Amino acid sequence: MSVELRYRPRRLRDNETLRSMTLETSLSIKDLVLPIFISDEISSPKEIESMPGVFCWPVSQIVDQVEKWIISGIRAFAVFPKIDPAKKTETGDECLNPNSVVYEVARSIKSNFSQISLIGDLALDPYTSHGHDGVLDKDGRVDNDRTVEILAKASVLAADAGYDVLAPSDMMDGRVGVIRSHLEKNGHIKTCIMSYAAKFCSSYYGPFRDAIGASNNMPIDKSGYQLSPNNFREATRELELDFEEGADILMIKPAEPFLDVIHYARNHFTIPIAAYQVSGEYSRITAAGLNGWLDAEKCAIESLTSIKRAGADLILTYFADKVASSI
């Protein structure tokens, strides 16, 4: 017996060909950026304990590994350094060393692979002994303007080294405009800025801090400069300011907990929108998979698809190499 119905949405879902033809959102490896950790302290890849399946790579092996990732279809990489603790200072001076590992790696990768996009992080937390994203004033607070001055100088070094895109992740006020000015004055008119425009003070960053050695074995309170997860309107203001200062791409971080902010950005700005599926998002799904509670790969793809559906044009994700053959 059948009921006479005018609307049967299942008609489009019943046929496999129609299902594939009517997909509203398609995820591609071209949408994904792979974050990579590098160090000059190690001679072989070292797995990050809190991020199973993700490694910190020695400088000597990174070119060969990047070639393997390129073969899998990945074309964009975001580089994060793990700095020797002996080189860390209160003011993060190592970030202004043109021979520092993050610049050495960029020169090496770009001299071998000109067809990829290399993204350089701009922040002081890998370089400071206290783990904050900037230099501290006499009261122990991050000094906005002194930090911006250092990041602007570092941006020129990064562009000189070959980074195609610079990603200030510090959440200092006004840094996008100052960095853009420094790049222009030094001839780097083609270097893009992908600003961490709405970076929230999230509990999902712990594994990343382990990876770059910035945890100091104690919590670091960054609520004085990163956004409160409770604040939507404040996030929209930060997006607007970075857009007006000349950012080429606006990023929201973390991704899945802030799909509403990604959706807002997509609907209100005419430039590309990025989202960072952060270390805690990766570790949450991976840990459940290792325990047999979830199919980690399928959940990763579902999460990434939701981020793209919300409006992200590109997604930084530690799953990029793990899902490359499945999307």
Whole-number mean pLDDT of the chain?
Answer: 96
- Show the beta-strand stretches assigned E in 192-283: 192-199, 249-253, 273-277
Which CATH fold would you assign to the domain 26-326? Answer: TIM Barrel (3.20.20)
Percent of the chain with pLDDT over 70: 99
Triad 34, 25, 236: Cα angle to 5°: 70
199 catalytic per annotation: yes
User: What's the mean pLDDT in 6-17?
Assistant: 93
Read off the pLDDT band of 1 (50, 70, 90): confident
Catalytic residue among 82, 88, 222, 253: 253
CA-based end-to-end distance of the chain = 40
Instruction: Give residue for tokens 């203001």.
Output: 237
Is pTM beyond 0.85 here?
yes
Which is the catalytic residue, given 199, 222, 308, 322? 199
Question: What percent of the chain clears pLDDT 90, i.e. is strictly above it?
Answer: 96
Domain locations in the chain as residue ranges: 26-326
**Beta bridge partners of residue 316, listed in sequence order:** 33, 276
pLDDT for position 21: 94
- Residue 238: how many CB atoms within 10 A of its CB? 21
Active site annotation includes 253: yes
